[in-house]
Amino acid sequence: MCNLYSNTLPPEMMRQLFKVDASRDQLGNAEPLPAIFPKRLAPIVVMDGDGERAIWNAHWGFVMPQVSKKTGEPIQPKAVNNARDDKLRTSSFWRTSFQERRCLIPATSFCEAKGRKPATYIWFGVTGEDERPPFAFAGVWRGFSGNYGGDKRELVTSSMVTTTPNELVADTHPDRMPAILHPDDYETWLAGQPKDAFELIRPYPAEKMVIHQSGEGLRADQGGL
């Protein structure tokens, strides 16, 4: 699973990389995001109601209503920020979003922790000419309307698809890794048939990935710079 990633791309570069017209960019003068945790807002690339690519800010984590086991009364909802690939087509929680509302999640690195007290924080990325080459995770999105954090809220929420890890990531997280998409597959993920989109979910080649930073003393919110 992934609970921390970075996106230090300026909006203009995101528009260029993901072929989004400036009129469909809702970010404004957004600041770089070196540490994105669950429940934070972060950019996603979607197909909007007109069938055009757009960049929206989304709450990271699908909102799952919960009730108290003791009283049966509603309590603070849970934010589910990872969607397992083996659940996308079978779980009612994910199925419709996978079929109808897929998105790209722009990133420049992601972090996994290994061990405890102290943990080793390892920041992964992809190979390329830049210091931190940009890439995109496979994601899904949906709207939420209801009580959240004590307030009535209207949100766009996103979740990151995870799959089995490649050899590089498995040493740190042997069970899951985020599904990274090749740029040639962005259109199919956003607008293709679900069966074709599902075939794109696979471990990103280990030889095309790098470890940007790793260390026991590395704070989790510093490695994404």
pLDDT, one tens digit per residue, over 166-185 is: 999 999 999 999 999 999 99
Count how many Cα atoms sit within 13 Å of the Cα of residue 45 in the half-sphere of its side chain.
Answer: 29
- Which residues lie below 8 Å from residue 9, measured CB to CB, with a gap of 6+? 17, 32, 106, 108, 134
pLDDT(199) > 80: yes
Interval 149-160 mean pLDDT: 90
Token pair in block for residue 104: 């790209």
For the chain, the maximum distance between any two Cα atoms, rounded to a whole number of angstroms, is: 56
Token pair in block for residue 78: 């849970």
Domains and CATH numbers, the chain: 5-215 (3.90.1680.10)
Token pair in block for residue 63: 């909102």
pTM of the model: 0.94
Interval 71-85 mean pLDDT: 87
Q: Looking at residue 148, what is its pLDDT?
A: 83
